[in-house]
Structure 1
């Protein structure tokens, strides 16, 4: 397995690893729990698009470096500018998607906390596997921002209407076993087995007829569109209205409390 650096000099925000016909993308800002800076979002979108076009890639695995999967948008950056917020409305990305969908399955290997925008990244994957250390939380209402990557559509689709609203309105953490019980993830494995389990699944998918895999995946997505499409549009309208009066300073004021709460697991 090899790793490529996405930018030099210094540590890149995204690592790329290869094994057979599987490409693994690793969010690589562990010092800030893989919070999504504008640079990391751009790199992730670029490399997913590259994987979608690559003839030697059948499956993508998305995971995080260190102890977290992704803590969501970088609150320090969001609190000082609107650059991260503008990236929610990228001209090349369809409404309600964190990246342009690719014709190949994406497996999310959730190694730690998936919070807010990080939860939306996880929900945009086709299949989720979780470490027993994984935790899931939606803190949009606590931070004072609104989702724009499809959370209000995909979360209730995954866990049901009531549980989704409980997560979003309370900001409570959900552990890995609960996530499995409510249908957010398909499997929970010991932390040191996470990547091996994700790779086993990826290799199994890669061993299938790829025309059939991609046609089936497209069929699933088109079948969901009559429900997902209007919900994504509603979320987009709400987000646009919210951002019209958005005050980055309000996010900055709440940042410390959110970070400390996350460390305590509340």
Structure 2
């Protein structure tokens, strides 16, 4: 009898400029093992180098987003823990540095590295049944997947300490109040909501959106003088594409522009 094919741990769909990556270990609430970390790294690298990708959606299968790292998965006893953490950190950096907008579509639990995977995206859409926790302390661990950097920037130092030290579970409404979720929509509506949102982002000017994302990420640690210099530099890059004049013309003609990001300097 032929064996049934094993489902991939990461589902990958591309449509209309939007690449949707679905964590696919529903029996583990999409907890991430070594195979899935590797698949995410490869997918983010491919998104970075493919000009056809204009937005990325990250979600989970089976009614959960991600239960964090799979601590039950077997690991090579000869592999130093630092090597495993380098793999995790590489994935976090790849996600953070993607030049295209990223959306986390969260339904169900997002805890530990799974929550930080969502927070590493530019926008987070959740449902009322979503639950979140920086669960590390309850496992005798400290924050990872960028949580120690992301949380203070998003909620301030005191609330970040509350989330990290108490490791309590919070609901979507509380996460939204703290600024850790961008929108909360009904579970029956989230697919259409995210599809519309991703489509709007994919239709935007790719070079300008990449510059905006980089400026906001980088300028959080810069002085105003540094930020203004960076803004001037990136604006010059935008004016070297066809998108800025195309937008001006579309505005004058009272229509929507068609953004391509094409270089316009001969």
Q: Secondary structure at the match of 1:93?
A: helix
Tell me if structure 2 keeps the 8 A contact 1:73–1:84.
no
More moved, 78-87 vs 23-32: 78-87
Query: Which of 119, 134, 138 is the equivalent residue of 2:134?
Result: 138
What residue in structure 2 maps to residue 35 of structure 1? Answer: 31
Aligned to 1:10: 6
| 1:71–1:78 distance in 2 versus 1, CA, 3 Å | farther
Q: Which of the numbers 66, 73, 76 marks the counterpart of 1:77?
A: 73
TM-score scaled by structure 2? Answer: 0.76
Partner of 2:86: 89
Structure 1 unmatched runs, 5+: 1-7, 228-266
- Structure 2 unaligned segments of length 5 or more: list them: 224-266
Question: Secondary structure of 2:20's partner?
Answer: strand
Say whether residues 1:25 and 2:21 are aligned partners: yes
Partner residue, 2:254: none
| Residues paired across the two proteins, number | 219
Match for residue 143 of structure 2? 147
1:78/1:145 CA distance change after superposition, 3 Å: farther
| CA distance in 2: counterparts of 1:19 and 1:171, whole angstroms | 38
Deviation of 1:226 after TM superposition, in Å, equals 4.4
Q: Tell whether 2:167 aligns with 1:166.
A: no
SS in 1 for 2:72: helix
Q: What is the CA-CA distance between 1:100 and the residue it aligns to? A: 6.4
Q: What is the RMSD computed on CA atoms of the aligned residues? A: 2.4
What's 2:192 paired with? 196
Q: 1:60 to 1:53 in 2, by over 3 A?
A: same
Kept in 2, the 8 Å contact 1:140–1:146? The answer is: yes
4+ runs deviating over 4 angstroms: 78-85
Distance (whole Å) between structure 1 residues aligned to residue 149 and residue 14 of structure 2: 32
**Deviation (angstroms), 1:72:** 0.6
Correspondence for 1:127 among 84, 98, 123: 123
> How far, CA to CA, are the matches of 1:97 and 1:54 in structure 2?
18
Tell me, in whole angstroms, the C-alpha distance in 2 between the residues paired with 1:162 and 1:79.
36
Judge conservation of contact 1:98–1:149 (CA < 8 Å) in 2. Answer: no
Q: Is the counterpart of residue 108 in structure 1 residue 128 in structure 2?
A: no
Assess if the C-alpha contact under 8 Å between 1:111 and 1:131 holds in 2. yes
| Structure in which a larger fraction of residues adopt helix | 1
Q: Is the 2:45–2:94 contact (alpha carbons within 8 Å) kept by the matching residues of 1?
A: no
